Amino acid sequence: MIEEGPTTHCHDILDQDRFDAVIVGTGLWQSMLAAGLSIAGKSVLHCDPNEYYGGECATLPWAQFYKSLLDKGAIYSSYGEDPGQQFLFDLQPKVIFSTSNLVDDIVKSKSFHYLSFQCINNYYTVLDGAVTAVPISKADIFQCGFLDRSEKRRFMKLMHIALGDDTHSQAPSNSYDNELRQRFRDLPFALYLEELQLSKALQDIVLYSLCFADSAELKTADGILLVRKFIKSLGKFDSGALLYPVYGTGDIPQAFCRLSAVNGGIYLLRSDVTAKCPKTVILSESQQAIECDIFVDGSIELPDSSGIKSSGVLSRCICITTAPSKNTSSVSLIMMPPMLRKHSVRVLQLDETTGCAPKGCYILYLSSIQEENPESDLRAALDLLVVEEHRQKTLFYSESLHSNLIQVPEVLTSTIESGFSMDMDHKAEIARALFSRYCPGSHFLQKSPDQLPDVDLRNNPEFNEITVDADNSFDNDHCSEPYPE
């Protein structure tokens, strides 16, 4: 986490009283929009009522993190002693697919100068009550001990179907496979996998470890796209498909804030803004009037009476341990299929290499769609993963998946804050859509200086120096290998 963000003006009155754009909130999409507008030559005033950057994506020390949950009334139960300031905690723990538009945005904007990433190479599921490694690459599938030859063949065939690969287009079954996929398009993906004769264990691996589904209700069309997204990300940076930002997810919006500041953006923390009229806003602290052409406020929560359906509540748990989860190591993602519940449980395990935990300690983030309460929903999963004597601190809490308003001149648009989404692509899409509205014809985040000052040098290897493992990739160039017999 960056300790000092972009330059923050602490004066009651700004030197200028007109900006092209005023943006409230420093979450990911707001920060990407601010960077895009600044790079495009717009003058930007970027405000946040919080005392930290990142909004709902922020990464915070324990005291700030705990206070944030207290202020929301989210805490359900807590056990053990509070951790020290050596830990950093995500309000919304997220990962990034190695092949994604967000990675492309980070690269082309050169905001990777402010970021480091840890590749997640370890993926696990629960089979017969035990944590078991998930085969995610061709090599893993060939060597997997709990799959027989026919299961390996069917698993590989599904991979090729998801990629849309025509290497085996001459096979007699090809036209039938295409017809079958269309027939099951709007039906549950689980039914399609069953029709392909995948075992229940393989169905769970595909649904929950490759698609990250929260239940068995995922549609086939969506499932195919999610499997493809996962496979396309394999082997791009190391052997895994996912990246986690060093110092937490909050470093990504901070990087875009830095980029905006380098290009002239002005930043105000602990400062809210009130719209007086479409072209004028009032700073809460100084009551200074600021004229602007663009006003974007993404911090407005919809009231319960808004009539827009709530997107539910998450059960979350943070557990600080002195040992990794059973049968796992280092940075890992554990997807637990529904057992006695309707919904799956996701577990992200972090260690010292992420910069979020001291040496010898681990942070486990458990999350699931809430059915009863956080402790009832997640206690069994935690007990399966970590023995009591290895736990230093355990916190069960809730997170509301609320609707937010994106307020822009003459337009009021609602968006659902999808906290249960594994990645942040949907947030980046909001930024792209708004940028296209304000700067039609301009390239988003495209114009960036070759040399960026104020680079965070504490842990900053070049983004593209992460090892590429092409042998484990399922890319079409590597699909000529026959199915295992």
Residue 417 pLDDT more than 60?
Answer: no
pLDDT of residue 12: 52
Q: Tokens 């990407």 correspond to what residue?
A: 32
User: Higher model confidence: residue 18 or residue 481?
Assistant: 18
* Domain topology for 138-233: Guanine Nucleotide Dissociation Inhibitor; domain 1 (1.10.405)
Average pLDDT, the chain: 84
Distance separating alpha carbons of residues 300 and 70, to the nearest angstrom = 20
Amino acid 341 reads R
**pTM, 2 dp:** 0.86
List pLDDT tens digits, range 307-333. Answer: 444 458 999 999 999 999 999 989 999
Pairing of strands 266-269, 44-48: parallel
Q: Is the pLDDT of residue 240 over 60?
A: yes
Does the structure show a pLDDT above 70 at 452?
no
For the sheet containing 345-350, what is the strand order? 75-80, 391-400, 313-321, 362-369, 345-350, 332-336, 122-127, 130-133
Q: What is the per-residue pLDDT for 312?
A: 83
Each residue's pLDDT tens digit, 39-56: 999 999 999 999 999 999
Where along the chain do its domains lie? 18-60+246-304+419-438, 138-233
- In whole angstroms, what is the distance from residue 231 CA to residue 241 CA? 7
The reported pLDDT for the residue numbered 464 is 38
Tell me, what's the pLDDT at 458?
A: 40
Ranking 5-19, 75-89, 112-126, 331-345 by mean pLDDT, the lowest is: 5-19
Compute the distance between CA of residue 78 and CA of residue 25 in angstroms, rounded to an integer: 30
Res. 473: pLDDT tops 80: no
Domains 18-60+246-304+419-438 and 138-233 share a fold: no
CA distance 255 to 269: 16
Please give the CATH topology (third level) of the domain spanning 18-60+246-304+419-438.
FAD/NAD(P)-binding domain (3.50.50)
59 and 89 Cβ atoms separated by less than 8 Å: yes
What pLDDT digit, counting tens, does each position of 351-364 carry? 999 999 999 999 99
Judged against a pLDDT cut of 50, whether residue 136 lies above it is answered with yes
